[in-house]
Structure 1
Amino acid sequence: MDPVKLTGIAEWPTPTKKKELQSFLGFTNFYRKFIKNYSKVVRALTQLTGNAEWTWGAAQNQAFQQLKKQMAKDVILAIPNKTGCFRVEADASNGAIGAVLSQEQGGVWRPVAFMSKALTTMEHNYEIYDKELLTIMLALSDWCHYLMGALEDVEIWTDHQNLQYFRKPQKLNRRQARWVTELAEYHFVLKHKPGTANVKADLLSRRSDHDQGEDDNGDITVLSPEHFQALIMPTVSETQERVKTITRQKELWDKGIATSLEHERGIIEKNGILYYDNHVYVPQHLAL
């Protein structure tokens, strides 16, 4: 087993209080069906999660170390194939980032690799939307040999409410401009999963050894609308806004209207929406 893929687990620090132990057990519980005698192994640990007084002794330490070893041995990270869909679950806390790469095989999502990384001093100062996108960029970079050129769009599960900033044209710094170039190499779709529900990645980003810190180039759209997958059907007003947004993009004007209309006669604009012969012009676009 490649130890690099398991660093998020192998480097998990020994818990010093109940909350830290609960986080570790919460993470391992997701993979209990892959771990032999899971309930027996964790018995000495689960006894400390209730009302019992916190006492970390030899039995607890042995159970903790054994569970980490069995995670590496028994979870048996899936060997990726070329046909299954990939999923990246990513999360950023104030002090660290965490991600899980999985692939659907035989109708079951199997873990392929784990990632957990403390933020640098500079990264600590990033805005929350930059931290969330940083997590995605590092995950894509680490697992590019699996994800670049994937046959199906890579699902990226993250709290993309924090990424709304990038849905609108922004003046980018050099780092963000570099991310734009790198993102163009992948085909992916973002799916919203709040941090409270994105538990596996959330726990990897909040390991106790990661300092949690304190809360805290032209107009370019980093994440275009087609990267965001809606969980509900959009309302009429939302659809109109999408049409407006996409119609305003020059590239879509050039590639959409120029190829679908022989000339501009009969085209009028009203409230940001184009009409042709009194019909709403809807660009050919995945977001619509």
Structure 2
Amino acid sequence: GYHISAKGISPMEEKVTAISTFPKPSTVTDLKRFLGMLNFYHRFCPRLAAIQAPLHISSKKNDSQVIEWTPEMSDAFESCKQALLSDTLLVFPDPHASLSIMTDASNISIGGVVHQSKNGQFQPLAYFSR
């Protein structure tokens, strides 16, 4: 779920807590469960696809297979949690604000943000990555 206020939209605190305290998955099935919960909130997390990349490689294995964690995967797992904990608020569009799109690409992912400029500050409307 989402928390919707006059300021904008953010992930529900209880859901963020559930994801941030999720134990390190031991099987591919558990890893897919974690990634599914996290991906529900993908529009709140900048560069999420790039952060998740080491985990996605392991998620393509047999579901019951035990995961052999590498330091890179452990870092990615914790970085995914931190991305959601960054407390991103997505504001509502202001018809009088200037809109812009910023994009980025690498060998492993693409991403971007749609934001508006209001009072000299950039306010995110949505993040995307793949």
If asked which structure has higher relative contact order (CA below 8 Å, sep 6+), I would say 2
> Which residue in the other structure is 2:59 paired with?
49
In structure 2, the residue matched to 1:13 is: 23
Question: Is 2:62 the counterpart of 1:58?
Answer: no
Runs of at least 5 residues in structure 2 that lack an aligned partner in the other structure: 1-12, 94-130
How many residues matched? 77
* Residue in structure 2 matched with residue 125 of structure 1 by the alignment: none
Name 1:40's counterpart in structure 2: 50
One-letter code of the match for 1:40? A
Q: Given the two structures, how large is their TM-score scaled by the length of structure 2? A: 0.51
* CA distance, structure 2, for counterparts of residue 59 and residue 35 of structure 1: 19
Runs (5+) with no aligned partner, structure 1:
79-104, 108-288
2:44–2:89 CA contact under 8 A, matched in 1: no
For the residue of structure 1 that corresponds to 2:86, the secondary structure is helix
Q: CA deviation at 1:33?
A: 1.9
Q: Is this contact kept in 1: 2:19–2:37, CA < 8 A?
A: no
Letter in 2 for 1:70: A
Identity %: 25
Which structure shows the higher strand fraction?
2
Task: Classify the secondary structure of the residue corresponding to 1:12.
Answer: coil
Of the two, which has the highest radius of gyration? 1
Distance 2:85 2:68 in 1: 26
With normalisation by structure 1, the TM-score equals 0.24
Q: Which one of 32, 35, 54 corresponds to residue 22 of structure 1?
A: 32
Q: What whole-Å deviation, never above 9, does each CA across 1:71-102 have from its counterpart, x for those lacking one?
A: 0105x257xxxxxxxxxxxxxxxxxxxxxxxx
Alignment of 1:1-288 (within 5 A): 5=14, 6-51=16-61, 54-73=67-86, 76=88, 106=92
Amino acid at match of 2:72: A
Cα pair distance change 1:77/1:10, threshold 3 Å: farther
TM-aligned CA deviation for residue 106 of structure 1 = 4.2
Going from structure 1 to structure 2, the CA distance change for 1:50 and 1:73 (only over 3 Å counts) comes to: same
After superposition, the CA RMSD in angstroms is 2.4
The alpha-carbon distance between structure 1 residues 55 and 26, as it changes in their structure 2 partners (threshold 3 A), is same
Give the Cα–Cα distance (whole angstroms) in 2 for the partners of residues 18 and 77 of structure 1.
31
Instruction: Tell me, in whole angstroms, the C-alpha distance in 1 between the residues paired with 2:48 and 2:29.
Output: 20
Supply the distance in 2 between the matched residues of 1:9 and 1:58 (Cα, whole angstroms).
Answer: 20
- Structure 2 vs 1, CA of residues 42 and 106 (structure 1 numbering), >3 Å: closer, same or farther? same
**What is the letter of the counterpart of residue 44 of structure 2?**
F
Equivalent residue of 1:62, what SS? Answer: helix
